Amino acid sequence: MTNTEKIFSFIDSYAGTSEELYLEKVIEVCRAWIEGEKQPELSESVTKEEIRRGIQLAILKGMKQHAQPNHQMTPDSIGLLMGHIATKLTENRTSTTILDPTVGTGNLLYTIMNGIDTEVQAFAVEIDDVLVRLAAVIAEILEQEVTFLVQDTLRPLFIDPVDLVVSDLPVGYYPDDENGLNYELMPPEGHAYAHHLFIEQSLRHTKTGGYAMFMIPSNLFESEQAAQLHAFLKENAIIRAVIQLPSSLFQSKVHEKSLLILQKPSEELKTRPEVLLAKVPDMKNKQAMARFLQDVDEWAKQG
């Protein structure tokens, strides 16, 4: 068995035999692992990515019970691509601070953190109590430095601006109109889109010159509130890239997602580099994928 399989089987043999919520048992066994009460037998060369993937397999099983459409874990294929881009955008730094304002299970955040070679410290926000406890035990096992806040991210956030924001955005209306009024992206009538407000909140917590990378619905710029979003972004951000993810990853056209990469304007960033408008090829086509990543790497150097 590989280390990843051993970890899954270690967690599953504990969590799968109980009537309690599977994810609660995952948290419990991970805590016992941290405290040295129980441990999977792993080879000495075990990597953080192997550990993350093993735990991820157990979460996928548990998520079937905890299923809510906007709480889905970010799939690895997308996490790894976002990780590659994040590594390129931060490669010349000696240390990096990251914020994931919708951290969920942490799968996306840890994929990104595991890929960054420099010192990395993260802040993570999540409203769902089970997911945040899960994300917190995984951070401890992976020995990643993460500070968690359990709250509505769209309420005031006591976090200093970071170098990089990453988020797989929950999509839909934000029900709290009163709090929505604290945002420029609150429409004059009706509810705001939560995903728009998350973008605005993220930019408030991005350092000047820093980046914010979001997984967005591909039709983000086609909604009835798109004009307001466009005007806001023109004023407050530099759109650096819009990357369409392969349709084959999504159930239907309305569920298709893209990556939006913004940079927070600074005094030095007077010239606006060209926007990368790209489409990720079929991820199984290794040659096409290698060419695509080469283009992304060239683009990242302009930052």
Query: Is 256 a residue that touches ligand SAM (CB under 6 A)?
Result: no
3-state class of 93 per DSSP? coil
- Give the nearer residue to ligand SAM in terms of CB position, either 109 or 238: 109
Tell me the C-alpha distance between 202 and 297, whole Å.
24
| Part in contact with ligand SAM (CB under 6 A); list of ranges 25-33, 65-73, 224-232, 253-261 | 65-73
Query: Is 200 a residue that touches ligand SAM (CB under 6 A)?
Result: no
Smallest separation (angstroms) from ligand SAM to the CB of 205: 13
| Part in contact with ligand SAM (CB under 6 A); list of ranges 149-157, 201-209, 262-270, 291-299 | 149-157
Smallest separation (angstroms) from ligand SAM to the CB of 277: 24
b (16+ CB within 10 A) / e for 254-276: eebbbbbbbbbbeeeeeeeeeeb
Tell me the C-alpha distance between 269 and 170, whole Å.
30
Any residues with CB less than 8 A from the CB of 278 and at least 6 apart, and which? Answer: 241, 242, 243, 244, 292, 295, 296
Task: For residue 202, give the nearest of 295, 145, 280, 124 by alpha carbon.
Answer: 124
Task: For residue 26, give the nearest of 40, 47, 46, 43 by alpha carbon.
Answer: 40
- Give the nearer residue to ligand SAM in terms of CB position, either 15 or 73: 73
- Give the nearer residue to ligand SAM in terms of CB position, either 78 or 238: 78
Query: Is 131 a residue that touches ligand SAM (CB under 6 A)?
Result: yes
- Give the nearer residue to ligand SAM in terms of CB position, either 124 or 242: 124
- Give the nearer residue to ligand SAM in terms of CB position, either 125 or 237: 125
Q: In the chain, what's the furthest Cα-to-Cα distance? A: 60
Query: Is 70 a residue that touches ligand SAM (CB under 6 A)?
Result: yes
- Give the nearer residue to ligand SAM in terms of CB position, either 12 or 128: 128
Task: For residue 207, give the nearest of 123, 259, 263 by alpha carbon.
Answer: 263
Query: Is 168 a residue that touches ligand SAM (CB under 6 A)?
Result: yes
Binding site for ligand SAM (CB under 6 A): 70-74, 102, 104-105, 107-108, 125-128, 131, 152-154, 168, 170
